């Protein structure tokens, strides 16, 4: 799948997000720009805003219940007005093969938007997918920095 040209953050661009609302607003902007079937990778340290971003993304697509990190479940599927959103968290996965054993290729396909946190081991298998890196900003506990890597 070719990437849409109108993503809210260009490759190499960095944006400061001040608080939860701005993290969620960026997620909502991506939700409106990504086509059905797109894949998006999120990386960054613990607590840097990956799940908050995903809350905004899923909420913008019409899901009104709680969106939480799938760290222990590995994945959540959220039904939205625009189709399903697959939210994967590979933080606890020791071997990427575990994800493939769960039929990840079938899950990340076609009609659902997929967001993968901590998916660094999958980048080579999904080269066209955008990657966002989230980071804390020293001395500013409410501020996060997000950079589009690819």
This prediction's pTM? 0.88
Q: Predicted confidence band at 1 (pLDDT cuts at 50, 70, 90)?
A: very low
Nearest CA among 4, 36, 9, 40 for reference residue 22 = 9
CATH superfamily of 15-148: P-loop containing nucleotide triphosphate hydrolases (3.40.50.300)
Nearest CA among 42, 45, 51, 17 for reference residue 140 = 17
Boundaries of every domain in the chain: 15-148
Tokens of 111: 């009609």
Inform me whether the pLDDT recorded for 105 exceeds 90.
Answer: no
Please write the tens of the pLDDT for every residue from 19-40.
999 999 999 999 999 988 899 9
Distance, first Cα to last Cα, the chain? 14
Q: Is the dihedral of CA 10, 63, 109, 126 positive or negative?
A: positive
Please write the tens of the pLDDT for every residue from 116-137.
998 888 888 776 889 999 999 9
């Amino acid at each position: 799948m070719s990437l849409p040209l109108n993503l809210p953050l260009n490759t190499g661009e960095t944006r400061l997000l001040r608080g939860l609302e701005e993290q969620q607003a960026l997620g909502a902007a991506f939700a409106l720009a990504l086509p059905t079937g797109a894949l998006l990778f999120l990386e960054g340290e613990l607590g840097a805003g990956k799940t908050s971003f995903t809350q905004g993304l899923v909420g913008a697509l019409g899901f009104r219940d709680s969106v939480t990190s799938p760290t222990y479940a590995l994945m959540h599927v959220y039904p939205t007005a625009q189709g399903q959103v697959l939210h994967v968290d590979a933080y606890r996965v020791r071997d990427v093969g575990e994800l493939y054993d769960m039929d990840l290729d079938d899950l990340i396909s076609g009609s659902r938007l997929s967001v993968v946190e901590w998916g660094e081991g999958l980048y080579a298998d999904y080269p066209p997918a955008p990657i966002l890196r989230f980071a804390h900003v020293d001395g500013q506990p409410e501020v996060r920095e997000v950079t589009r890597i690819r």
